[in-house]
Amino acid sequence: RVLSTWDPTAAMAAVNTALPHQPLAIPAELATVLHEADRWAERTGRAFEPAVGALVDAWGVRTGGRTPTAAERSAALRNTGAGAFTISLTDHTVTRHLPGAWIDTGAFGKGYALRAVERILEEHGVTRALLDFGGQLLVLGEPGAPWPVDIAHPARRAEAVLQLEISRGSVATSGDSERPGHLLDPRTGTPVPAWGSVTVV
């Protein structure tokens, strides 16, 4: 309900269709997570980019894939990245500055949801759990009793290439084996080359 970019009644739909240059009041929870995502974008030199929606559209990532023209890619790049949005934690507003820009929550939504679930589990006294949100896991355990977490082979998803032992944290794996072309470099406006997969703990 907070981060969906598919539900037209969700708060993110209002953010992504807001009139340019007009601050929009949003729930405090949404302002907090969008601000955090933007901070990570800055820390990664915008390699991680929430405001990548224009490129998602240009490449048809949600509609089966397509190759944009050079002009379409240039237009999408102009509506991507730093300066597309301003998020204010002071008054819980977001301002969309570029008319074709929108924030795709796919790269951080699962992590945020898992963190929220972790708080709920802890409030109910749960000390050991393994939750799988499809490509991202939440692991709760005690020292000395870790969970085994298989990491899939980049090209053969049914085959584990290694196994981690995780007592507490989150594990996310992303690659191109299941959906070629869906990982975009927001700095170039093109899909990343086939390179395998990356797992972050």
- Which residues are bridge partners to 163 per DSSP? 150
pLDDT at 11 over 90: yes
Provide the pLDDT for residue 60: 94
For the stretch 101-120, pLDDT in tens is 999 998 899 999 999 999 99
For the stretch 144-197, pLDDT in tens is 889 999 998 988 888 999 999 999 999 998 887 666 667 899 999 999 888 888
For 175, the token pair is 């690659």
For the stretch 18-72, pLDDT in tens is 999 999 999 999 999 999 999 999 999 999 999 999 999 999 999 989 999 999 9
Sign of the torsion formed by the C-alpha atoms of 139, 181, 102 and 81: positive
Query: What pTM was computed for the model?
Result: 0.88
pLDDT at 126 over 70: yes
Distance CA 185, CA 65 (A): 15
Contacts of 111 (CB under 8 A, 6+ apart): 136, 170, 172
pLDDT at 75 over 80: yes
For 19, the token pair is 């009139």
For the stretch 128-150, pLDDT in tens is 999 998 879 999 988 788 999 99
pLDDT at 8 over 70: yes
Provide the pLDDT for residue 22: 97
Q: Are 157 and 177 in contact (CB under 8 A)?
A: yes
